[in-house]
Amino acid sequence: MDTVHRPHFIRSSTIVWLALMFLTLITYAIGEAKLGGWGVMLMVLGTAVIKVQMVSDHFMGLRRTRWLWRGIVLGWLLLVAGLVTIAYLSAVK
């Protein structure tokens, strides 16, 4: 068996994981800075949506499935994000 060793090759899973850690650090920093407001809420929620999409596409393998399954997960994600936004906006009043 002839295999090629690539010492500087970074797997796509590692890149996705690093991106997830970076986004997590951003949301952690926002929480530690005690920032608030509508714009901050949208930024944190948007970051969470991006992270869920990255996990579902890459680690759950939905990237290679039919659009029906991807659409179901995306629809669920948008529903939850919308409900969180509505809950936040109703509590701010």
Task: Give pLDDT, residue 92.
Answer: 76
Task: Give pLDDT, residue 8.
Answer: 61
Q: How far is CA 89 from the centre of its chain?
A: 22
For 78, the token pair is 């948008």
Task: Give pLDDT, residue 19.
Answer: 96
Task: Give pLDDT, residue 3.
Answer: 65
Task: Give pLDDT, residue 93.
Answer: 64
Task: Give pLDDT, residue 4.
Answer: 65
Mean pLDDT, 10 residues at a time, the chain of 93 residues: 62 92 96 91 94 93 89 93 92 76
Task: Give pLDDT, residue 1.
Answer: 55
- The pTM for the full model equals 0.79
Task: Give pLDDT, residue 87.
Answer: 93
